[in-house]
């Protein structure tokens, strides 16, 4: 594993959350160890590194933790022999060596009068193992027995003293020209830089607000306007200048025009994606789906008739969709009906069977044959996340 290795949310949850966090709570709680609330509630997100987790983890248990980010190395002071009576130092050192002989995922070394346990990025890969937890627990109890100042000890869990306040951290937030955000924090002589996206930044602000203001932070902060019937998803830009909705229209038989002829044919279930900015519809697409219950993984299919490009954008022909003034999202209910009322021709139609022949055959059916749908190769959530971006 390299220094820039990152795990997905799923990998972290499996590797760390199931084994490590549950194991930590089980092992340490009965000993009255003050597991940091931030650690206990840690939610892993995409791009969260094992090194980040370990930093929070060790700082929740030990009083002296050195983080060398440039080396991807964490050092924990387990014993400071200056604080141990001379007649007990050899015993403490021997017990530490016994633990070190069966170590998994860490190293043991002596620096002057201090006994150091160190972890680097490759070693931290083993944090999910129960052996790691057992050995860390043994080291913790060793420090607690011989050098209590090396650990964060709360002996009476019903009356735990408050932890010492750390020096205030100075934080600077820089906004890049491309929307990127750099957070620079200075604590003592340590400077850290972290680049995040706007969505992650807003999530951090929201979490901080909730933690700081308690019940006030729990009140609803995001409200949608009255949405069109059939809405399955809604989003709006950070500056509130534009928004997008996804409207589900269930499949049924409809009258449709093919040049000057009219046919009554079944349509599949359709989802219309509409973007509105400055009270105008600026983007419109349509896809077909096999289901009427839409979730993140719902697979999308190409619209089976004409007037829709291969990239799913709707061709409106002479219909001036941009002329409609959309004062509220509820007005978007009329868009599917405008689409169904448009005349079909052979433009943008992609199918081996001529469109007229397809309409003639479909007139004899009550529901659209889903085997005729061509997959786009994308799920609903991925499509909607990128729509309008």
- The pLDDT tens digits of the residues spanning 23-56 come to 444 444 444 444 444 444 443 343 445 566 666 6
Least confident of 32-36, 70-74, 81-85, 129-133: 32-36
Give the residue with greater pLDDT, 300 vs 182.
300
Helix/strand/coil (H/E/C) assignment for every residue in 27-47: HHHCCCCCCCHHHHCCCCCCC
Least confident of 89-93, 130-134, 219-223: 130-134
Question: Is 242 in contact with 275 (CB distance < 8 Å)?
Answer: yes
**Greatest CA span in the chain, whole angstroms?**
104
pLDDT at 75: 81
Decide if pLDDT at 305 tops 70: yes
Give the residue with greater pLDDT, 183 vs 213.
183
Strands 375-379 and 107-111: unpaired
pLDDT bin (cut points 50, 70, 90) of residue 264 is very high
The stretch 65-91 carries a mean pLDDT of: 80
The stretch 309-323 carries a mean pLDDT of: 87
Decide if pLDDT at 219 tops 50: yes
Decide if pLDDT at 159 tops 60: no
Give the residue with greater pLDDT, 287 vs 343.
287
pLDDT at 168: 56
Q: Enter the pTM of the model.
A: 0.48
pLDDT at 197: 72
Give the residue with greater pLDDT, 73 vs 266.
266
In the predicted model, what is the mean pLDDT of the chain? 75
pLDDT bin (cut points 50, 70, 90) of residue 167 is low
Query: Which residues are within 8 A (CB) of 34 and not within 5 positions of it... i.e. 6 or more apart?
Result: 60, 152, 153, 154, 160, 163
pLDDT bin (cut points 50, 70, 90) of residue 102 is low
Give the residue with greater pLDDT, 237 vs 153.
237
Helix/strand/coil (H/E/C) assignment for every residue in the chain: CCCCCCCCHHHHHHHHHHHHHHHHHHHHHCCCCCCCHHHHCCCCCCCCCHHHHHHHHHHCCECCEEEEHHHCEEEEEEEEHHHCCHHHHHHHHHHHHHHHCCCCCCEEEEECCEEEEEEECCHHHHHHCHHHHHHHHHHHHHHHHHCHHHECCCCCCCCCCCCCCCCCCEEEEEECCCCCEEEEEEECCEEEEEEECHHHHHHHHHHHHHHHHCHHHHCCCCCCCCCCCCEEEEEECCCCCEEEEEEEECCCEEEEEECCEEEEEECCEEEEEEEEECCEEEEEEEEEECCCCCCCCCEEECCCCCCECCCCEECCCCCCHHHCCCCCHHHHHHHHHHHHHCCECCCCCCCCCCHHHHHHHHCCCCCCCHHHCCEEEEEHHHHHHHCCC
Q: Give tens-digit pLDDT for 330-369.
A: 999 889 988 998 889 888 888 888 999 999 999 999 999 9
pLDDT-above-90 percentage for the chain: 29
Least confident of 70-84, 116-130, 138-152, 174-188: 116-130
Phi, psi at 198, each rounded to 5°: -60, -40
Decide if pLDDT at 152 tops 80: no
The stretch 198-225 carries a mean pLDDT of: 65
pLDDT at 223: 78
């Amino acid at each position: 594993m390299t220094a820039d290795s990152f795990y997905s949310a799923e990998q972290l949850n499996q590797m760390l959350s199931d084994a490590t966090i549950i194991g930590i709570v089980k092992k340490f709680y009965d000993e009255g160890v003050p597991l940091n609330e931030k650690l206990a509630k840690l939610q892993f997100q995409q791009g969260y590194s094992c090194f980040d987790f370990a930093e929070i983890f060790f700082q929740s248990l030990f009083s002296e933790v050195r983080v060398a980010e440039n080396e991807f190395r964490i050092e924990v002071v387990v014993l400071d022999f200056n604080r141990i009576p001379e007649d007990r130092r050899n015993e403490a050192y021997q017990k530490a060596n016994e633990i070190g002989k069966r170590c998994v995922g860490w190293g043991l070394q002596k620096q002057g009068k201090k006994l150091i346990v160190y972890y680097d990025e490759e070693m931290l890969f083993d944090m999910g193992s129960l052996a790691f937890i057992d050995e860390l627990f043994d080291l913790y109890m060793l420090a607690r027995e011989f050098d209590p100042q090396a650990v964060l000890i709360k002996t009476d869990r019903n009356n735990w003293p408050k932890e010492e306040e750390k020096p205030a951290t100075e934080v600077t937030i820089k906004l890049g020209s491309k929307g990127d955000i750099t957070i620079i924090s200075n604590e003592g002589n340590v400077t850290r830089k972290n680049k995040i996206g706007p969505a992650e930044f807003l999530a951090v602000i929201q979490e901080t607000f909730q933690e700081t203001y308690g019940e006030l932070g729990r009140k609803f902060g995001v409200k949608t306007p009255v949405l069109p019937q059939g809405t399955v998803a809604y989003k709006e830009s950070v500056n509130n200048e534009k928004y997008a909705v996804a409207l589900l229209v269930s499949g049924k038989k409809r009258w449709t025009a093919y040049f000057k002829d009219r046919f009554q044919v079944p349509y599949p279930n359709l989802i219309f994606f509409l973007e509105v900015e400055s009270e105008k519809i600026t983007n419109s697409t349509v896809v077909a789906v096999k289901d009427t219950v839409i979730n993140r993984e719902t697979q999308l299919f190409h619209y089976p008739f004409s007037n829709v490009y291969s990239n799913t954008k709707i061709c409106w022909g002479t219909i001036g969709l941009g002329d409609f003034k959309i004062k509220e999202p509820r007005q978007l209910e009329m868009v599917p009906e405008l689409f169904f009322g448009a005349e079909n021709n052979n433009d943008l139609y992609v199918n081996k069977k001529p469109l007229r022949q397809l309409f003639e055959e479909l007139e004899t059916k009550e529901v659209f044959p889903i085997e005729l749908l061509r997959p786009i190769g994308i799920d609903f959530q991925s499509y909607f996340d990128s729509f309008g971006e």
